Amino acid sequence: MVPHQKIPLPEERPGRARPEGERPGGARPEGRTAPPQLPPVIGHRGAAASAPENTLAGLRRAKALGCRWVEFDVRLTGDGALVLCHDSRLDRTTNGSGLVSATSLAAVRELDAGTWFDPGFAGERVPTLDEALLLASELDLGANIEIKSDRGREYATAAAVATTVQRLRGRAPAVLVSSFLLAALAALRDLAPQIPRGALFRSIPRGWGEVAHGIGCMMIGSDHRRLRPRRIAAIRAAGYRLSAYTVNDPARARLLFDWGVTSVFSDAPDILCAVSAGHIRTLARQGAMR
Ligand code: G3P
Ligand code: MG
C-alpha cells in the first residue's frame, strides 16, 4: 500500500499544461494550483454515448470525435491498483460481478468491459490508470482523473493517483484530478499540491467558497440541472473554472455557457462542437482565453 508521506512533484511539462492568466472577474486566489487549459467540451467517461465508458476504446473514440480532454473515473482494486471504473461494483460495465475493491487487478483484467455496451467492443479490458494516461498522452488528450472510492479508502486512492502521475512524469498528459470526495482532494492537496484539483458537487452548497479555498481547487463541478445563474456568477467572479455534467443537449450547453459555465462534460462531445465553437468566440471576446 502507498505510504503516507509527502510526494515530491514534478513541474508541469512545458507546452502540455499551460497556466491560464488572470481573467476579468476574478484573480486566482493565493496558493491555488496553476490550472490547465480546459476546453469547453470534455468527453465524459471517454465518449460514453458511442463507446463503452472508461475504456481505452472510449478514449480513442473521444479523440476521433474531436475532444481535447477526456474525463474518466478511477478506483482501487483489492490489491491497490488503480483501474478505470465508475461504479463500486463490476456488474454494470463488465461481465464480472462484485466490488472492485474486493477484486484483484489480475481478476479485473480477465473481464470483458466492452460487450455489455456493444458486441463490436468485445474483448475491451478494464484499463489501468497507467494505460489510460499513456494512451491519452499518445492521443494528445488532457486527462481529468475523477477519484472514486469506497468509504475509508479515499486517502489511499488519492495517494495512488499522486504516485502514478509522478511516476509517469514526462510521459503523462496534462491532468486535472477531481472528486466528490473532499477527503480525497484534501489528501491530494497535502501529498501532491502541484496537481490541479477540482471539487465536484451534486448541488453546489452555500459554503462552496470555503471548501474550494480549503481544497485549493481551480475547478468546481456540478450537476448542470442544479446550477443557477447567480451561483455561477459568484463562482466565476472568484476566479474558478466551472464545469457542468453531464450535458448532451446542445441547447442546454448553449444556455450554460451563456450563464458562465466554462466546460461541460458530455457523453456525445461531437454533438456539442458547434455550440462550443460559439462559446470559444464568447470567451475570446471576454479575454478569458489568454
Ligand atoms: O466529473 C463529472 C462527472 O463524471 C461526475 O459524475 O457520476 O459521471 O462520475 P459521474
Ligand atoms: Mg466521473
Could you give all domains of the chain from N- to C-terminal order, each with its CATH number? 41-286 (3.20.20.190)
What is the rounded distance in angstroms from the CA atom of residue 290 to the CA atom of residue 288? Answer: 6
Confidence (pLDDT) at 191: 98
All three cell numbers of 242, joined, read 466551472
pLDDT value of position 14 = 25
Instruction: Please give the distance, rounded to the nearest whole angstrom, from the Cα atom of residue 62 to the centre of ligand 1.
Output: 16
pLDDT at 275: 76
- pLDDT tens digits for range 50-88: 999 999 999 999 999 999 999 999 999 999 999 999 999
pLDDT tens digits along 149-203: 999 999 999 999 999 999 999 999 999 999 999 999 999 999 999 999 999 999 9
**From the centroid of its chain, how far is CA 31?**
21
- Counts for the chain of helices (H) and strands (E), in that order: 9, 9
pLDDT surpassing 90 at residue 91: yes
Write the pLDDT tens digit of every residue in 201-243: 999 999 999 999 999 999 999 999 999 999 999 999 999 999 9
pLDDT of residue 276: 75
pLDDT of 253-289, one tens digit each?
999 999 999 999 999 999 887 677 777 666 666 655 4
Cα–Cα nearest to 114, from 127, 104, 105, 101: 127
- Give residue 214's pLDDT: 97
Going by pLDDT thresholds of 50, 70 and 90, the confidence category of residue 5 is very low
Q: What is the mean pLDDT of the chain?
A: 88
* pLDDT of amino acid 277: 73
Residue 90 vs residue 4, higher pLDDT: 90
Q: DSSP code of 224?
A: G
**All cell numbers assigned to 130:** 497507467
Residue with the larger pLDDT of the pair 248 and 21: 248
- Crossing angle for the helix pair 208-215 and 229-237, to the nearest 10 degrees: 40
| Ligand 1 atom index nearest CA of 265 | 2
In the chain, the amino acid numbered 279 is H
Q: Whose CA is nearest to atom 2 of ligand 1?
A: 245
Q: Rounded to whole angstroms, how far apart are CA atoms 33 and 38?
A: 14
Which of 72, 74, 84, 86 to mutate for ligand 1's pocket (most ligand atoms within 8 Å of CB)? 86
pLDDT of residue 173: 96
CB contact set of 157 (below 8 Å; sequence gap of 6+): 74, 75, 76, 82, 147, 148, 149, 184
Pocket around ligand 1 at a 6 A CB cut-off: 44, 71, 73, 86, 146, 178, 200, 221, 245, 265
pLDDT at 2: 33
